[in-house]
Structure 1
Amino acid sequence: MTNQVKQDGGWIRKVYLYLTMLITLLMVIGGSVGVVMAVADIVAPTPYYMSFEEYRHMHTVKQGEGRTEIGGEAEVDEQTLRAQYEEMIRLERERSVERAKNSLIKSLAWVLVPLPVFIYFQRQVRKGGGSKN
């Protein structure tokens, strides 16, 4: 009877070790994919899709409704409008890069947290902890 319990305990331990390794490995793989995607977003951020014509139209519609920018004039010339548009694009690109950096940090956590657990359990299996019968 005690021999049967030892065998069952060895089998349960083996399943536990391998399941833990599988789960932590999947977490590391998912985090690695996130890291690659975040680095790609930092290197080549998603472009801003509003064209200057759309921006100008939006600005004229706002003024047509009687609304102006805070401290702004009722009529904005083309050059000023173009400068505002370029500034908006620059700020959007910076925000995109900042979001990608934030995502990179989160993805690195998905790699760095389960990796030591995976390595520990892998060593347990290699020591023979997973093959006790």
Structure 2
Amino acid sequence: MTDYGHPMSELAALEHRRLKALVAAEAETLDALHAPDFLLVHPSGGVWTKSDYIGGILSGEIRYHRFEALTEIQVMADTTIAVLRYRSSICIQIGGNQPGELEAWHTDSYRREDASSPWRVVWSQATAID
């Protein structure tokens, strides 16, 4: 792992902040932390754009009751690209269905334009654990 002036713990803290914002449906924080071209591959294998995902959370169509890291958030970072990996516990409700519990592995890719720009998540992949 390489750290070019951006503490690894700061990127992990940013991901914790993102998870809390997903549960709280904090519009400003979610918009700021997700790149315009964000894509999520969710545990069912489908792909959601930023509009699908954040729009669904803000409308209540997607509702996280819990989303927390169970393991340390591991970080590999360069000056403009970072990859984070961790295991989570999730309680999610989609489309008015009963909330569902799952554990998943996550790989999240962050990027920034330059060393003075903010980090934003671009790609996120969640794999359900049986």
More strand by share: 2
Structure number with the bigger relative contact order (C-alpha 8 A, sep ≥ 6) is 1
Which of the pair has more CA radius of gyration? 1
Q: Please give the range of the TM-score, normalised by the shorter of the 2 chains.
A: under 0.3
- Alignment TM-score, normalising by the size of structure 1: 0.22
More helix by share: 1
- Alignment TM-score, normalising by the size of structure 2: 0.22
